[in-house]
Amino acid sequence: MNADETNHADVAEQSRKSCHVSVMSAEVVQWLEPVAGGVVFDGTFGGGGHSVLLARAASEHVGGGGRVLAVDRDPAAADVGLATIAGLPIDLFCGSYHQVDRILKAAEVEALDGVVLDLGLSSDQLEDRSRGFSFNGDGPLDLRFDPTRGRSAKEFLAQATEKEIADAIYQFGEERLSRRIAKQIVMRRQERKPVKTVAELVDICRRCVPRSKGHDIHPATRTFQALRILVNEELAILESALKVLPSRMRPGGRIAIISFHSLEDRIVKNAFRDDQRLEPLTRKPLRPSDEEVAVNPRSRSAKMRVAEIKRLVR
């Protein structure tokens, strides 16, 4: 299948129960080149768009027998996904993509031919007010991909020191005004009005972060990004997965990673450059087409990098 044969309408049709529109899906299928009988690992199932296209490509277009192992950390995504994968050669698991060994064992698969990671959050998660991901609304400040495990953002803000909060917002959000925001958060705690909701945190960010000229990102963007990365340990999980995945792949297999901010992209770029097992195939990251960005504005910050597992040199 080439890039032109995959279109966004296909993805929307297959993911009927999800409102997420997959990003750079034609490029994912094109670069992973699913092979007959091959096994592709979709580590971020989300609405299932990439999994469905890869399963179709592996089973219909290249001789059949291919299979997709898909995983999502969000139990809600895995639940909704069961309807999406019906009748397709996709095994869907709930868990984190860095636990690839657990998934390979459960699926009785020895090695992978392709891997895709489409990082960040899905539109389904963004739309669900009970999760706290969107700052255009209100709801509990949770921000966990898996709300059944770990500590929510609200709990972190209730327990951490002012310095820990400021450091997290600076490190994971690259927010220059992190100290000012952390101070306000801790002041509310001292007044026995701890920050518990999206609207309360947005209000603090609005008061601490002035809108700058020609720079129209929302004042809460960086703070929410930071807290989400922190509570989900997103960067540590990505680093850990990048260490293990190449060893679980066949020579010639490809790994494609789509990231949405510079912290993630830097980790991917450095790992692809420094890992002796990998040959980077994209010197510069691939970007979505203008046409895709017009249809799906959420894709505008996507950057995709692809690497191949080196073949043995005799």
* CB contact at 8 A, 54 and 10: no
Residue pair 35/62 in contact (Cβ under 8 Å)? The answer is: yes
Distance from C-alpha of 288 to C-alpha of 301, rounded to nearest angstrom: 8
Binding ligand SAM (rule: CB under 6 A), the pick from 46, 173, 246, 288 is 46
Interface with ligand SAM (CB under 6 A), residue from 118, 142, 265, 308: 118
Can residue 113 be called a binding residue for ligand SAM (CB under 6 A)?
A: no
Give the single-character DSSP code of 215: B
49 binds ligand SAM (CB under 6 A): yes
Return the number of the residue (43 or 219) whose C-beta is nearest ligand SAM. Answer: 43
Number of residues forming the site for ligand SAM (CB under 6 A): 22
Region near ligand SAM per CB under 6 A, out of 43-51, 151-159, 222-230, 285-293 = 43-51
Taking CB under 6 A as the binding criterion, the range among 119-127, 217-225, 246-254, 264-272 that sits at the site for ligand SAM is 119-127
Contact between 226 and ligand SAM by CB under 6 A: the answer reads no
Q: Identify whether the C-beta of residue 238 lies closer than 8 Å to the C-beta of residue 119.
A: yes
Sign of the torsion formed by the C-alpha atoms of 224, 226, 232 and 238: positive
First-last CA distance in the chain: 32
**Interface region with ligand SAM, contact rule CB under 6 A, candidates 46-54, 59-67, 152-160, 209-217:** 46-54
Q: What interhelical angle do 178-190 and 221-232 show, nearest 10?
A: 70
- In the complex with ligand SAM, which residue's Cβ is closer, 144 or 188? 144
Number of helices and strands in the chain (H, E): 14, 7
172 binds ligand SAM (CB under 6 A): no
Q: Look-up: residue for tokens 């803000």?
A: 157
For ligand SAM, the closer CB: 118 or 308 = 118
Q: Is 51 exposed, middle or buried (0-12, 13-18, 19+ CB in 10 A)?
A: buried
Both tokens of residue 155?
A: 């709990």
Q: Quick one: which segment of 118-126, 132-140, 186-194, 219-227 binds ligand SAM (CB under 6 A)?
A: 118-126
- Let me know: does 231 contact 197? Beta carbons within 8 Å: no
Question: Cβ-closest residue to ligand SAM?
Answer: 46
Q: Does 225 bind ligand SAM (CB under 6 A)?
A: no
Site of interaction with ligand SAM (CB under 6 A):
20, 22, 43-44, 46-50, 71-74, 77, 96-97, 118, 120-122, 145, 237
